[in-house]
Amino acid sequence: MTISASFIDYAKDVFSPFGEISVRRMFGGAGVYCDGLFFAILDDEAIYLKSDDETQREFERAGLSPFQYEMKDGSLASMSYYAAPGDIFDDADELKRWTRLALDAAARAAKFKKKPARKSPTASHARPTSFKAAKRSDA
């Protein structure tokens, strides 16, 4: 799992028509973001695009393999990212089609992220009282 600086630059260039591209190194690979949406993974000089329930069949029909990584116990785990078709780098229409699928999946995933729960004023008062009551009963 290594990624070269030149490959990161290549990915930024390839996806630049779609928005502001940023890349963050992680775990030997890198995450690719377009306007803040995490839509691709770079790993071992390969690009994997985000999929979801709506787009996964497209990736599978094209015979593309999912992004997998090895767990500590030696088993393989998969993520909802699939290898990018090789022809997208030579065909602007295919690049647009597959990148749009990935960006749309990333946008849908971003909508489902939970916002941090806000504490109500009564909840903040209830916790110390409950904690103190629990401590008293332990004493």
Report the alpha-carbon distance of residue 90 to residue 111 in Å, rounded. 32
Q: According to the model, what pLDDT value does residue 118 have?
A: 56
For the chain, which residues make up each domain, given as ranges? 5-137
- Ranges of the chain whose pLDDT falls below 50: 120, 122-139
The CA distance from 84 to 81, in Å, is: 9
Tell me the C-alpha to C-alpha distance, in Å, between residue 10 and each of 5, 68, 133, 139: 9, 22, 60, 64
Question: pTM score > 0.85 for this model?
Answer: no
Give the pLDDT of residue 55.
95
**Which CATH fold topology does 5-137 show?**
Yope Regulator; Chain: A, (3.30.1460)
Identify the helix (H) or strand (E) that includes residue 108: helix 92-112
Determine the pLDDT at residue 81.
Answer: 95
**Residue 119: per-residue pLDDT:** 55
